[in-house]
Amino acid sequence: YSQQLALELYFYLS
């Protein structure tokens, strides 16, 4: 486990 995904992948930019 090393890679921290970015929040933009989960939430949408509005």
AA letter at 4: Q
Q: At its nearest, how many Å lie between another protein and the CB of residue 8?
A: 6
User: Count residues contacting another protein (CB under 8 A)?
Assistant: 14
Binding mask 1-14 for another protein (x = CB under 8 A): xxxxxxxxxxxxxx
Question: Locate tokens 């929040």: which residue?
Answer: 7
Q: At its nearest, how many Å lie between another protein and the CB of residue 9?
A: 7
CA 11 to CA 5: how far, in whole Å? 12
State the residues that interact with another protein by CB under 8 A.
1-14
